């Protein structure tokens, strides 16, 4: 039986194995992913992001417990793109593992490397797909920070929660332009701390000042104390409200289409490059170009045009 067939029958070890293959860039993963693809598209994808130390892991843990209480199977992808080189560890992992270790309805996977197949967002997407095909009802993507990588990642989510903590004034300033656009829900966690009301007020003001069009979703600011479970029920209700909004307003359809387009484009870009790059690497052309750039006798703009002319079918018709 192929890995994919085992996964479709709920084999967790087969799923873990395929995720590793994807991460390692094994070409053997490709037919498996093709087999799984028709079985994807059913999971509700929830993104959780925010600065380090905001309590995202604890919050994810509580949210998972709540989904489990209502009988949903939960996949968790914990992504840490801040450590692209050495593949740093996700600290909260062990803690979470302990709590849900014996629960077959929870599947956790950490991603710290960028993934050989092309970027961490690509790897994350494949892992989400595998969990989706496994029959997970909910897939939670938890990621640190709000750089471009993280934004690409949480864009896969149907609903994205941005978690903040009181007293990170400067950080809010620095990242607000980015988070305003991706947050469907703001969570002020550690709400027992000094300044929680102030942070919540600042966020609310930011939302009000934002340029929302009519009919658009207006993010709410929720307060939680994840370590005590305070505010989780209200947060879950807000997730449900957003999900309902997406379906009712027809946004879900558009969202899926945009996501599919982005997935395809990213793969096309990667494969085109790998194919052409492999050939100019093999025939020595790349070496000549790079050497020429070193002496400034070759400029990269012209070199790229020549390579396109040589390897792209009918590239000439472009300029015609």
Q: Does 267 bind a copy of itself (CB under 8 A)?
A: yes
Which residues, 6 or more positions from 158, have their beta carbon under 8 angstroms from its beta carbon?
Answer: 44, 45, 46, 242, 243, 246, 252, 255
Size of the site for a copy of itself (CB under 8 A): 79
Task: Fill in the DSSP letter of residue 80.
Answer: -
Q: Does 174 bind a copy of itself (CB under 8 A)?
A: yes
Residues in 105-144 that interact with a copy of itself by CB under 8 A: 114, 120, 144
Q: Which is nearer to a copy of itself, 54 or 235 (CB)?
A: 54
Geometric angle at alpha carbon 130, from 128 and 136, rounded to 5°: 75
Residues in 274-303 that interact with a copy of itself by CB under 8 A: 275-278, 286, 289-290, 293-294, 296-297, 299-303
Give yes or no for a contact between 56 and 49, defined as CB atoms under 8 angstroms apart: yes
Geometric angle at alpha carbon 64, from 60 and 70, rounded to 5°: 150
Stretch that binds a copy of itself, among 2-10, 62-70, 243-251, 253-261 (CB under 8 A): 253-261
* x-marked contacts with a copy of itself along 28-67 as a string, rule CB under 8 A: --x--xx--xxxxx----------xx--------------
Q: How far apart are CA 308 and CA 314, in angstroms?
A: 10
Geometric angle at alpha carbon 313, from 311 and 314, rounded to 5°: 125
Q: How far apart are CA 199 and CA 207, in angstroms?
A: 12
Stretch that binds a copy of itself, among 11-19, 200-208, 222-230, 310-318 (CB under 8 A): 310-318
Q: Does 181 bind a copy of itself (CB under 8 A)?
A: yes
Task: Fill in the DSSP letter of residue 38.
Answer: G
Candidates 12, 101, 209, 312: give the one binding a copy of itself (CB under 8 A). 312
Candidates 13, 99, 305, 316: give the one binding a copy of itself (CB under 8 A). 305
Q: Does 4 bind a copy of itself (CB under 8 A)?
A: no
Give yes or no for a contact between 299 and 293, defined as CB atoms under 8 angstroms apart: yes
Q: Which is nearer to a copy of itself, 84 or 229 (CB)?
A: 84
Residues in 196-235 that interact with a copy of itself by CB under 8 A: none
Instruction: Give the start-end residues of each E strand in 194-292.
Output: 220-223
């Amino acid at each position: 039986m192929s890995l994919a067939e085992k996964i479709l029958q709920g084999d967790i070890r087969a799923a873990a194995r395929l995720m590793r293959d994807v991460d390692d860039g094994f070409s053997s993963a490709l037919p498996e992913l093709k087999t799984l693809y028709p079985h994807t598209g059913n999971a509700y994808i929830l993104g959780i992001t925010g600065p380090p130390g905001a309590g995202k892991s604890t919050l994810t843990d509580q949210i998972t417990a709540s989904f489990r209480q209502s009988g949903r199977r939960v996949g968790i992808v914990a992504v840490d793109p801040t450590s692209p080189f050495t593949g740093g560890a996700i600290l909260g992992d062990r803690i979470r593992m302990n709590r849900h270790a014996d629960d077959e309805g929870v599947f956790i996977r950490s991603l710290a490397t960028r993934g050989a197949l092309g970027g961490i967002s690509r790897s994350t997407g494949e892992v989400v797909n595998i969990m989706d095909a496994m029959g997970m009802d909910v897939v939670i993507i938890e990621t640190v920070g709000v750089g471009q990588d993280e934004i690409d990642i949480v864009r896969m989510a149907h609903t994205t929660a941005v978690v903040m903590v009181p007293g990170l004034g400067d950080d809010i300033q620095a990242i607000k332009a980015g988070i305003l656009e991706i947050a469907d829900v703001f969570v002020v966690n550690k709400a027992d701390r000094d300044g929680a009301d102030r942070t919540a007020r600042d966020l609310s003001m930011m939302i009000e000042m934002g340029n929302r069009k009519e009919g658009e979703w207006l993010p709410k600011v929720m307060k939680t104390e994840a370590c005590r479970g305070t505010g989780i029920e209200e947060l879950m209700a807000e997730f449900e409200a957003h999900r309902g909004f997406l379906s009712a307003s027809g946004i879900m359809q558009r969202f899926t289409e945009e996501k599919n387009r982005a997935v395809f484009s990213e793969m096309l870009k990667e494969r085109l490059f790998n194919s052409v790059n492999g050939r100019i690497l093999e025939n020595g052309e790349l070496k000549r170009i790079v050497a020429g750039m070193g002496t400034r006798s070759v400029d990269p703009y012209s070199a790229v045009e020549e390579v396109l002319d040589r390897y792209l079918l009918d590239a000439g018709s472009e300029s015609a």
